[in-house]
Amino acid sequence: MSEPTTTAAAEHHPHHRPTIQPPHFSAAQGGPSTSTATLTPLVRDYKKGNWTIQETMILITAKKLDEERRIKPASTSLDPTTKGELRWKWVENYCWSHWCLRSSNQCNDRWDNLLRDYKKVREYESNAQSRTDLPSYWNLEKHDRKLWNLPSNMALEVFQALNEVLQRKYSTQTTALRVPQTLSVSPSPAPLTAPPLLPAPMGSPPVASERSESAGTERSEKHTESDDTKGKKHEKIGSSMKRSASLLAKTLQNCEEKKEKRHREIMEVQRRRLEIEEAQNEVKQQGMVNLVTAMSNLSSAIQSLISDPPHHDDQQPT
């Protein structure tokens, strides 16, 4: 690592306030140098709240440079402070050198969230390419993304930057892991030429060191996979609940239709009963009218008989 520039040293002068202005580094360094770690302020006023896209891009760049820094072969002896430097502390120092005033814990948490969101979007885009009925993630509205259990605010430039970093990381790890296997299966040379092959095992410690140093990222990826598994379970539960709700709605609809049909049948029976009762009442009324008429005729006949008695011829005796 190169030494910090004169400007960086001037900014860490005791007369300056380190808690307000972060340290600056030369653009040629690509990040904070080894000696800068000793000059960083002990107390920093970290920014809180949501991350901006600019801060997220700075974090992704810091992670990319950190991966390149750790897989780069150590050609020169490193300072003891560099060996003991924490991985996320280096990322924090880089972010502070680019005015991203975040702590190492904030960077770690943000990176885990980015990996989880990236994996969800990548899997959805893979499914969308194989299915014509699925629109692209970038064409979905925010509420539609939430319905698909997707991150609602993933920016395209952030996704592309993450894809570049992760693809480069996995390709580098695959190449590093294949080199020892190739050396192990190669034909053994003559005993006189054996010493040149002794440096080959020296390549293993960087790989082991790299894997041990990237354990945090692997654990976060496993955590992301478990989150994805939980998300799939939630999707299955949600789909089964939708089917149950649809079946329940259909059953309720059929029940309502049967109740309405039964109500119509009952009303029809009531109407017929009323018609029968009306017919019976008419018959009764007509019978009463006929009875009254008959009684009136009978009374008239009796009156006529009383008023006009029959005349009999009186026979006188001889």
Output the DSSP codes for 243-291. Answer: HHHHHHHHHHHHHHHHHHHHHHHHHHHHHHHHHHHHHHHHHHHHHHHHH
pLDDT digits (tens, 9 = 90+) for 119-144: 999 999 999 888 888 899 999 999 98
3-state secondary structure of 98: coil
What CA–CA distance (Å, rounded) separates 136 from 117?
15
pLDDT at 150 over 90: yes
pLDDT digits (tens, 9 = 90+) for 80-123: 555 445 789 999 999 999 999 999 999 999 999 999 999 999 99
Q: Where are the beta strands (DSSP E) in the chain?
A: none
Convert 238-271 to b/e letters by CB count within 10 Å (16 or more is b).
eeeeeeeeeeeeeeeeeeeeeeeeeeeeeeeeee
pLDDT at 316 over 50: yes
More confident: 127 or 223? 127
For residue 187, give the amino acid letter. Answer: P
What CA–CA distance (Å, rounded) separates 198 from 306?
160
- 99 Cβ neighbours under 8 A, 6+ residues apart: 22
Sort 213 into a burial class: Cβ within 10 Å, 0-12 / 13-18 / 19+: middle
What tokens appear for 24 in the block?
Answer: 């600056």
What tokens appear for 267 in the block?
Answer: 């009303």
DSSP one-letter code for 30: S
Rg (CA), the chain: 49
What CA–CA distance (Å, rounded) separates 41 from 23?
9
Question: pTM of this prediction?
Answer: 0.44
Indicate the pLDDT class of residue 240, thresholds 50, 70 and 90. Answer: confident
Under 8 Å between Cβ of 97 and 22: yes
